[in-house]
Structure 1
Amino acid sequence: MINKEVSSPAEAVADISDGASIAVGGFGLSGNPIALIEALLAQGTTDLSIVSNNCGVDDWGLGVLLGAKRIRKMTSSYVGENKEFERQFLSGELELELTPQGTLAEKLRAGGSGVAAFFTQTGVGTQVAEGGLPRKYAADGTIAVASPQKEVRTFDVAGKTGEYVLEDAITTDYALVHAAVGDRHGNLIFNKAARNFNPLAAMAGRVCIAQVERLVEPGELDPDSIHLPGVYVHRVVEVGTDIEKRIERRTVSEEA
């Protein structure tokens, strides 16, 4: 087996060039591969097409790349708390392919599994299927790029007939993910909510780069505990257990 460890986040992302497409793990701010994102920011890579559930917040996660005008297009399900994301999209500076969350997850999983496309009921009867959703605005506020119409077919599933829309799978040049534990062969374990999109993003990238909080030797991980096998992972970099983790919106209750 190949030792996939690299010495630093900078080394891990060094070959990601301008114009690359990247699937990035994380859900809200949970499981963001922040060390890899900051290394990408530092090396100046630009004109990126990013696939991720959301785009961090204004000063953290993918938001740091967005704020530096390094992202050309986002494929996401949630604009969320990032005001700069909203501003760039509405001003025509950023292209956005808004995708239902479950559909986005399945598009990534399908791409990583070698499935070219799939049919789903999500979006039937809406602009998701019929087309016309704004993807990019012109400077004057008109729609410069709109989503295309998609194929809709009727299927009988479990005795129930209904319409389904065809969705293409997603594959990207690279994937950036965060895991709690990994070994030098690339086998990964994710912690709680960080498991939502990180494994799917990892599968979709032709080259997957994983930052891990703790790196162990091959054989130390219980095979039944591994969430993503190393066959999907090409580089692993240890970032330490004290890496900063943020909460998108902290909610606390008053003491009685």
Structure 2
Amino acid sequence: MPLRFGRLLVAGLLAGLIAGVLAGTFAYFAGEPRIDAAIAIEEQNALAHGEAGGGEELVSRDTQKNVGLILATSLYGIAMGGFLATGYTLLRRRLHTGSDTRAALGLAGAALTGIVLIPFVKYPPNPPAVGDPATIDQRTISYLAVLALGLVAVWAGVLAARTQTHEWRRATAGLLTFVVVVTIAWLLLPAVNEVPDTFPAVLLWKFRLASLGTQVILWTVLGVAFAGLLHRLATKATPAGTEVPAKA
């Protein structure tokens, strides 16, 4: 008897909280120093052009780093944990594996590919000093479009793989379909390059790699933690589906 959705959802939310805290900790040490450096460059450029500072901050930079960052990644992790648990509930019977662990890790890997990796290659994140405020709407729409197309590419690759019987043909069909959909998406969507020539390239890529690392850690920990919690729930259930008391 399958586990009830309520238990799966709680497992997903808990796994998301764990993943969010760990990802936020990584972002604090790997990403925040780059953001501080980018803000310093932005302030120096403003002074060089005779512009006033950014004015009084509603939330101080220290509060943003020491409180807001972990809070934001934790809430994001919880939301993604709920998303993963819901996807697992809806798609579990369609996944061609008898292992709950493989199913959970496969879904987390698919989400990481579609939601993070594909958008990152097309529209890598930029630090605060980079980007034209006038184009934020266009950039947001383009990012959401590539995110949706990334998920479509993963889905299309899985469907193409299932049309084949031999293992090597499944892998080839899935990979080719995935690449074709991604290529079409990248060709159709507009390019965005608003990085000033004077902005340090090393700082830019350290920030981008820190951002990517944060997402990779979040989805990896989320998948592993959710799989572990699924295994724990399964071991507490009898073959008939009734639950036995947890061991002390």
Structure with the larger helix share: 2
Does TM, normalized by the shorter one, top 0.5?
no
Which TM-score band applies after superposition, normalised by the shorter structure?
Answer: under 0.3
Larger radius of gyration: 2
State the TM-score, normalizing by the size of structure 2.
0.25
Structure with the larger strand share: 1
